[in-house]
């Protein structure tokens, strides 16, 4: 029997990946940068289980959302409980926040996570059944400065990663009052066209008409051209929040474009919503998105604290970096490649290689070397700087042949001086960085 990876998933490999964004060194690099950026903005890491009781997402993401209706990996556990692999991070973070009574520990809480998410979607380029998100959630501040901080953090993360030509699209879906009045206006506008709408949009007409706004169906989009704008239905408070957010973004020189068609696919949003798109991503062009979700914590039985956050897909970040030819970090390479020939030499080199490693020198050893030529090829393939060759002749003399692989320079050094020699090189190179 031949085993195959499940549809819509992929392996992240150290080498040999069929596409460069699946190389683990790149994932480590991106994870390191997003983590540091979040820390620099005062966010702390939170880790929650990969699965939750399904009702959490029904409540949080919303029963009428596509995610809950069509895309959750849901199963019954042996105890008869309905469990879902998490499709997104916000609901889980809110659950953890409430369950652990973190609200008692201060007025403001800022979390980040880097974690896999699961959505049973039709796989295509940029869309997977297991994807990974870097996300943040800022709880406790109702004012628009918190929204601006979150948006700036997202943009700064992309900037530090070297991404270019991104567009921040900004909208407000208002508070409950604004949405109620917009819902009526939108339904009134769409009613005469009902029979011309796509099947999906028809089914959303009663339950969730706002979602019709981001329909991808060309006929729907044509009809929607004349649709009213949610920005005209904003309550005075929601409008003031939106205007102040725009002022703050302007003053920080964060470019954005107001797009009143952005409604997002999760039901918990109110007031601010935003999406960042990359022109190189094709149909799945959303690099990241988020918004405000005041009231969500209270829905989960916690205190009535406001919140705002974002999630950004790591796959799409890497694909954008590669499409934009962003300079990528070089993989770390061994300083020393030990190449012992024969059992006795292997014993000696193994001890010395171990000593190197204990001194924090990146050292590799060829434990089954037979021929110098193959050993040298392996060392070159790994981009090692120096190859140490020890055969019976060298052992008899108590020395090693040192080959500098780039310059091809060769020298003979006594075995008992080797460690000091490598420690000195390692130190010099560390100082240069």
Residues that bind ligand HAM (CB under 6 A): 88-90, 119, 121, 127-128, 131, 133, 135, 137, 265-266, 286-291, 309-313, 315-316
Q: Which is nearer to ligand HAM, 290 or 306 (CB)?
A: 290
Name the minimum Å distance from CB 78 to ligand HAM: 29
Angle between helices 24-40 and 314-323 (to 10 degrees): 110
Helix (H, G, I), strand (E, B) or coil at 395: helix
47: enclosing H helix or E strand: none
275, 289 contact by CB (below 8 A): yes
User: What is the smallest separation between the CB atom of 269 and ligand HAM, expressed in angstroms?
Assistant: 7
Minimal CA–CA distance to 107: which of 367, 303, 365? Answer: 303
Contacts of residue 199, Cβ cutoff 8 Å, sequence gap at least 6: none
For the record, the structure tokens of 116 come out as 């896999």
Of the pair 11, 184, the CB lying nearest ligand HAM is at: 11
**Nearer to ligand HAM (CB atom), residue 124 or residue 410:** 124
| Partners of residue 117 on adjacent β-strands | 131
Q: Which is closer to ligand HAM, CB of 264 or CB of 346?
A: 264
Q: Which is nearer to ligand HAM, 60 or 209 (CB)?
A: 60
Q: Answer whether 127's CB lies under 8 Å from 94's CB.
A: no
Q: CB-wise, 34 or 379, nearer to ligand HAM?
A: 34
| Cβ atoms 56, 91 nearer than 8 A | yes
Minimum gap (Å) between residue 38 Cβ and ligand HAM: 13
Q: How far is the CB of 241 from ligand HAM (least distance, A)?
A: 16
Shortest Å, Cβ 107 to ligand HAM: 19
3-state secondary structure of 306: coil
CA separation for the pair 375, 304 (Å, rounded): 65
Token pair belonging to 154: 């997202």
User: If we measure between CA atoms, which residue out of 34, 107, 24 comes closest to residue 288?
Assistant: 34
Q: Minimal distance in Å, beta carbon 121 to ligand HAM?
A: 5
Ranges assigned E (strand) in 279-409: 286-292, 307-313, 336-340, 363-365, 386-390, 399-404
Buried b / exposed e over 252-278, threshold 16 CB at 10 Å, is: eebebeebbebbbbbbbbbbbbbbbbb
Smallest distance from ligand HAM to CB 319, Å: 10
| DSSP designation for 400 | E
Measured from the CB atom, is 120 or 362 closer to ligand HAM?
120
We find the least distance from the C-beta atom of residue 119 to ligand HAM, in angstroms, to be: 5
Q: What is the DSSP letter of 325?
A: T
| 214 within 8 A of 173, measured Cβ to Cβ | no
Question: Cα 11 to chain center, whole Å?
Answer: 16
Decide whether 148 or 336 has the Cβ nearer to ligand HAM: 148
Nearest distance in Å: CB 40, ligand HAM = 19
Asked whether 134 and 157 are in contact (CB, 8 A), the reply is: yes
Token pair, residue 335, equals 């300083």
Nearer to ligand HAM, 179 or 264 (CB): 264
Nearer Cβ to ligand HAM (234/273): 273
- By beta-carbon proximity to ligand HAM, the closer residue of 10 and 242 is 10
Q: What are phi and psi of 97, to 5 degrees?
A: -60, -45
Shortest CB 90 distance to ligand HAM, Å: 4
Nearest to 313 by CA among 341, 281, 340, 335: 281
Gyration radius of the chain's alpha carbons: 28
């Amino acid at each position: 029997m031949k085993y195959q990876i499940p549809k819509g998933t992929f392996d992240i490999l150290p080498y040999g990946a069929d596409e460069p964004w699946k190389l683990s060194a790149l994932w480590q690099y991106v994870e390191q940068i997003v983590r540091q950026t979040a820390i620099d903005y005062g966010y702390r890491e939170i880790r929650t289980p990969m699965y939750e009781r399904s009702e959490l997402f029904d409540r949080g993401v919303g029963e009428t959302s596509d995610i809950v209706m069509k895309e959750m990996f849901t199963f019954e556990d042996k105890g008869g409980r309905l469990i879902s692999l998490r499709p997104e991070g916000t609901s889980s973070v809110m659950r953890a926040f409430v369950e652990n009574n973190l609200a008692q520990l201060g007025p403001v809480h800022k979390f980040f996570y880097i974690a896999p998410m699961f959505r049973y979607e039709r796989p295509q380029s940029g869309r997977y059944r297991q994807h990974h998100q870097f996300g943040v959630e800022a709880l406790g501040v109702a004012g628009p400065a918190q929204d601006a901080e979150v948006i700036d953090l997202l943009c700064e993360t992309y900037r530090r990663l070297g991404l270019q030509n991104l567009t921040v699209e900004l909208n407000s879906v208002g508070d409950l009052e604004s949405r109620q009045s917009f819902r009526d206006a939108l339904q009134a506008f769409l009613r005469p066209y009902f029979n011309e709408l796509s099947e999906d949009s028809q089914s959303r007409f009663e339950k969730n008409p706002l979602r019709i706004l981001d329909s991808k169906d060309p006929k729907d989009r044509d009809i929607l051209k004349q649709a009213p704008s949610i920005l005209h239905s904003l309550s005075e408070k929601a409008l003031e929040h939106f205007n102040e957010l725009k002022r703050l973004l302007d003053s920080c020189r964060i470019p954005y474009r107001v797009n009143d068609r952005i409604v997002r696919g999760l039901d918990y949003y109110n007031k601010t919503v935003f999406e960042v798109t990359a022109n190189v991503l094709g149909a799945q062009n959303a690099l990241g998105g988020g918004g405000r979700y005041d009231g969500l914590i209270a829905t989960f039985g916690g205190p009535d604290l406001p919140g705002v956050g974002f999630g950004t897909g790591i796959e799409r970040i890497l694909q954008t970096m590669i499409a934009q030819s962003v300079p990528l970090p070089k993989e770390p390479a061994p300083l020393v490649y030990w190449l012992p020939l024969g059992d006795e030499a292997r014993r000696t080199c193994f001890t010395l290689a171990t000593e190197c490693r204990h001194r924090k020198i990146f050292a590799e050893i060829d434990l089954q070397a037979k021929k110098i030529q193959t050993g040298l090829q392996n060392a070159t393939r790994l981009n090692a700087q120096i190859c140490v060759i020890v055969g019976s002749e060298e052992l008899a003399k108590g020395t090693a042949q040192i080959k500098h692989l780039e310059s091809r320079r060769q020298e003979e050094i006594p075995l008992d001086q080797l460690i000091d020699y490598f420690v000195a090189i390692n130190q010099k190179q560390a100082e240069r960085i």
